[in-house]
Amino acid sequence: MGCYGIGISRLVGVLAEHFSDDKGLVWPANIAPAKVYLARLGTDEQVVKAADELYKVLQNSGIGVLYDDRDIRPGEKFADADLMGIPYRVVISDKTVSANAFEVKARSSQDSQLLGKDQLIKVLKA
């Protein structure tokens, strides 16, 4: 039995092949399963509170979020984020909480930047 039509499984395969690099997928924002990979680093009470609050704010703003609160090393979380190809990675750690900012990195970029909450929402809604 053979079928050579364009099915959903073939379409996803083509997208994965076309939108990838040596680290994994690089989903375009308009078809990504989520727009933000939220990585919480550490279990400090302030970090947990800031991450939980940002998660709720992003969800209420209509921005799809994958919240990684696993207790693993940051490098593992970053590698997972790159492999999944979510368009933006937002990191919350002791450093970012003390700076009252969020570390944001686009999947297609090498550099990250520190943004305040209002700037972050503005960037993610664009």
pLDDT in tens, 17-70: 888 888 888 888 888 999 999 999 999 999 999 999 999 999 999 999 999 999
pLDDT (average), residues 90-99:
97
Q: Which run of H or of E encompasses 122?
A: helix 117-125
Range of the domain at 111: 8-125
Contact 122, 103 (CB under 8 A): no
- The rounded mean pLDDT for the chain is 92
CA pseudo-torsion sign 76, 86, 61, 104: positive
Amino acid at 71: D
The total of structural domains in the chain comes to 1
In a domain, 3, yes or no: no
Q: What is the pTM of this model?
A: 0.88
In a domain, 97, yes or no: yes
pLDDT (average), residues 83-90:
95
Contact 124, 63 (CB under 8 A): yes
Task: With a cut of 80, say whether residue 4 has pLDDT above it.
Answer: no
Confidence at 1, pLDDT banded by 50, 70, 90: low
pLDDT at 23: 87
In a domain, 1, yes or no: no
CATH of the domain at 91: 3.40.50.800
In a domain, 15, yes or no: yes
Contact 28, 19 (CB under 8 A): yes
